[in-house]
Structure 1
Amino acid sequence: MKIIYRYLLKELIQPFLFGVFAFTSIFVGTDVLISLAKMMSKYGVPLLTTIKLFFLSLPQIVVWTFPMSMLLATLLSFGRLSGDSEITALKAGGISFIRLVTPVLIVGLLVSGLSIYFSNNLVPASMNIYEDTVWKLKHGKARPKTQKNLRISPVDNKTKKLDYVLTADKFDGNTQTLKGVTWQDYDNGNLVMIIQAKRAEWLEEKWIFMDGIIYTITQDGQVPQTRFNKFNMTENLNRTPEQISRNQKEPEEMTISELREHIDLMEEEGRNVNSLKVSYYQRYAIPFACFIFALLGAPLGLKPNRSGSSIGLGLSIIVIFIYYTIMTVGGSLGEAGTIPAWLGAWMQNIIFTIVGISLLYKASR
């Protein structure tokens, strides 16, 4: 690695770490600590449990602060170099501004990848444990993995008509059992069979209906009945207990692949999944802002009058406010279906990328 690149990276790392600490402290002080203090006073949460909840809330906050910190670090480092005329000296030595920005953009891309990794692994795991712990504190027992009045009604991809309807009085995620089960099977939109069973159990990777009756509806209107003790539903019901219990999770508690699978299942049932799709695309859009802010921050930090730390911090707050305002508007439009969900999630990135490239072009001339 060339000396100038090592020098630039050294200038970048310190303000980046400062930004992570500073922005994390703001989120913690204005949200996390207040919530934990309320829980301590209301539910008598032990100190060790409070500390555990504190650390469990950090991964989500750190993912939020990475883009902000990248912007602050780029503004401060290039502002300092510009204010001390080092950028001018480097240009005089034959080093173009594009070459100076390249290592910063690479770092921004690497931080974006790290953010996606955190968002897909650490955040869902910590959020699950956090929600389970809070539920136990509030209700005095573990969070139930049950769902009452379950209904699944996917649409056949070929005919675009109702495929089947599964209803159950209760789903128990702990025992992987459905109780009070009714199955209605459709062929090209026409009801052809009804199965009623007292329960259904997940055994050897398949659903087994127990103690029930099969009603076969013939073309002449007759409904012969067949009783059974066990009936294998392998070819009919393709939902695993994990897929069924996932309905109770928030998007933040799912990995990216789990959220994608959940969206597909909800779409099969004809449900509105715009909100889930926006959350899915934001899993990539928000981390990618690290790269975009590096692209934007480098030319913004060139002005000598912006070289001060306080000016750089203030400018970064303004840019971040505009970014998240556009993200909120875009997300709302995506959830409402006014624009595609992917565009609603990526709108702020598209706008800031265009602005960043324009500023970079002007700065390199």
Structure 2
Amino acid sequence: MKKFHSFLLKSFLGPMLMTFCIVMFILLMQFLWKYIDELVGKGLTWDIIGELMLYASATLVPMALPLTVLLASIMTLGDLGENNELLAMKAAGISLQKILAPLVILIVILSIFGFFFSNNILPVTNLKIKTLLYSVGQQRPELQIKEGAFTNGIEGYSIKVGEKDRKTSLMRRIMIYNQASREGNLSVTSADSGYMRVTADKKYMVVDLYSGCNYEDVRANGKPRNAKSNDYAFRRNYFAQQTILVPLSGFDFKRSDEGLFKNDYQMLNIAQLEIAGDSLKKELEQRKGYVFKNLIGRSSFTGPIDTSNTIKSKASYTLDSTIASMDFTDKKSAVSYALSMARSAKSNLATNKDEISYKQRIINRHRIEWHRKFALSFACFVFFFIGAPLGAIIRKGGLGMPVVISIFFFIIYYIISITGEKFVREGILIAPIGMWIASFILFPLGIFLSYKASNDSAILNTDLYLKFFKKIGKLFGKKKSA
């Protein structure tokens, strides 16, 4: 049995390593596609790019492991079935459960490793990559300029671009406010189009402008800095082409302090998430209590209401009788005061509602991250019990059919998982249900497929279905002829 187990493990480890590399490559390409605009043209050195890729690869491991297990298990068992090795094992009296036993142990170890990675290594790599991406974002100020909005990141200048061509880097409808003199918007440059680039030493940004005009308020000699606007002479200069040299400072690549992001929920392990979640929950309860006390304090009753029998015996008040005893002026004043108090309470509740909702969403994100560390590890276990029986049933190895089936099941898992996570973020579902719903749905499917594979079911045998439809066709043919 030791040789058999060794043979089975070797048959599984080869496809697993291959598929892991393929899946990591695909996910890494997706990461590059997402951040390509923020990385291209930043003048980054190869060591920075390599470090970024290393951290990105580490953050993708928890997602890559379940798909790797699914694909490798289908390929391994499908290979064994296609070569009749699985049939030979069963003929020797070895059940499917005993065949899969060493692989089950391996998957348990892999799931434990996945949890350890998510809990201890992933928070560190998340912190590293977020800090590095933030630092990269400080590079090349001309690429930070967004369309249709003023950019104030360059000291002494406020720049607005109407449209930016990402292929040619041509910018249209450019407006530059020169505020270097700290006397307000006394110098404005408007241009139809232009280009922006940073010099090699990163000390200046060169702005080439075309078909524009300079508008400038010139202060007369001897006038104080706080002179009135009518003491300025207005000057307008048209140009066909103009180059502006904007001095830069602080745009060299500098690593940001990791302390800026270390308290983010993605940078915490299980213990830290629990502590942070408890603190946030206490803050939320305190805020709700404050809102309630503030609302009561604004009402007509500023203290506790005494409802003892002594008070009740002295007088009995009703709203209708109290209002009926008032004259018109008092009624008007009472209604006006009540409306004022109601509007004030409504405004106060609306203001605090957004803050309370925000705090609740932050708490939900902490709960999502806590459950995610377990759910992704358990997904390896779920996908193995889907992939291994499927491989034994379809009896097809290689990267053809297994890839198609693996992608199909992974997409189902991913869609359900993302939907559940969204419901948790919005407070529709609690975290234990939303984050585990995908596993709850697919795990029974794995048990069903394992049962079918143990009994040599032909559930995915295409020949069986073709024969079935041929029989139905013959029956309809006989009825028509009759």
Q: Given the two structures, how large is their TM-score scaled by the length of structure 2?
A: 0.51
Aligned partner (choices 388, 392, 402) of residue 302 of structure 1: 392
Q: What is the deviation of 1:249?
A: 3.6
What's the counterpart of residue 421 of structure 2? 331
CA contact (8 A) 2:261 2:267 kept: no
What's the counterpart of residue 135 of structure 1? 134
CA contact (8 A) 2:55 2:128 kept: yes
Q: What is the deviation of 1:42?
A: 4.5
- The 1:40/1:324 distance shift into structure 2, 3 A limit, reads closer
CA contact (8 A) 1:39 1:45 kept: no
Q: What is the deviation of 1:66?
A: 0.8
> Is 1:352 the equivalent of 2:446?
no
User: Residues 221-300 of structure 1 correspond to what in structure 2 (within 5 A)?
Assistant: 249-270=263-284, 271-272=359-360, 273-300=363-390
Q: Distance in 2 between matches of 1:353 and 1:260?
A: 28
What's the counterpart of residue 41 of structure 1? 40
CA contact (8 A) 1:128 1:253 kept: yes
Tell me which amino acid in the other structure corresponds to 1:106: I
Q: What is the deviation of 1:84?
A: 1.3
What's the counterpart of residue 66 of structure 1? 65
Per the alignment, in what secondary structure is the counterpart of residue 400 of structure 2?
Answer: helix
Cα deviation, 1:291-330, whole Å, max 9, x if unaligned, reads 1111111111123453342111111111100111111122
Identity of aligned residues (%): 26
Tell me which amino acid in the other structure corresponds to 1:329: T
Q: Distance in 2 between matches of 1:259 and 1:291?
A: 24
Per the alignment, in what secondary structure is the counterpart of residue 428 of structure 2?
Answer: coil
**Greater shift in the superposed pair: 82-91 or 252-261:** 252-261
Q: How many residue pairs were aligned?
A: 260
- The 1:138/1:335 distance shift into structure 2, 3 A limit, reads closer
- The 1:40/1:274 distance shift into structure 2, 3 A limit, reads closer
- The 1:247/1:46 distance shift into structure 2, 3 A limit, reads closer
Report runs of 4+ in structure 1 exceeding 4 Å deviation.
Answer: 245-248
- The 1:23/1:338 distance shift into structure 2, 3 A limit, reads same
CA contact (8 A) 2:417 2:434 kept: yes
Q: What is the deviation of 1:337?
A: 2.8
Q: What is the deviation of 1:33?
A: 6.1
What's the counterpart of residue 51 of structure 1? 50
Find the structure with the greater CA-based Rg.
2
CA contact (8 A) 1:263 1:277 kept: yes
What's the counterpart of residue 15 of structure 2? 15
Cα deviation, 1:260-291, whole Å, max 9, x if unaligned, reads 21111111112412232122101110121111
Q: What is the deviation of 1:99?
A: 0.9
Tell me which amino acid in the other structure corresponds to 2:26: I
CA contact (8 A) 2:15 2:75 kept: yes
Q: Given the two structures, how large is their TM-score scaled by the length of structure 1?
A: 0.67
CA contact (8 A) 2:31 2:56 kept: no
Tell me which amino acid in the other structure corresponds to 2:454: S
- The 1:47/1:40 distance shift into structure 2, 3 A limit, reads farther
**Greater shift in the superposed pair: 322-331 or 247-256:** 247-256
**Greater shift in the superposed pair: 122-131 or 18-27:** 122-131
What's the counterpart of residue 82 of structure 2? 83
- The 1:334/1:39 distance shift into structure 2, 3 A limit, reads closer
CA contact (8 A) 2:80 2:395 kept: no
- The 1:134/1:69 distance shift into structure 2, 3 A limit, reads same
- The 1:28/1:247 distance shift into structure 2, 3 A limit, reads closer
What's the counterpart of residue 403 of structure 2? 313
Q: Distance in 2 between matches of 1:6 and 1:129?
A: 39
What's the counterpart of residue 6 of structure 1? 6
Q: What is the deviation of 1:43?
A: 3.0
What's the counterpart of residue 102 of structure 1? 101
CA contact (8 A) 2:75 2:399 kept: yes
What's the counterpart of residue 152 of structure 1? none
CA RMSD of aligned residues (A): 2.0
Q: Distance in 2 between matches of 1:305 and 1:109?
A: 24
What's the counterpart of residue 26 of structure 2? 26
CA contact (8 A) 1:32 1:57 kept: no
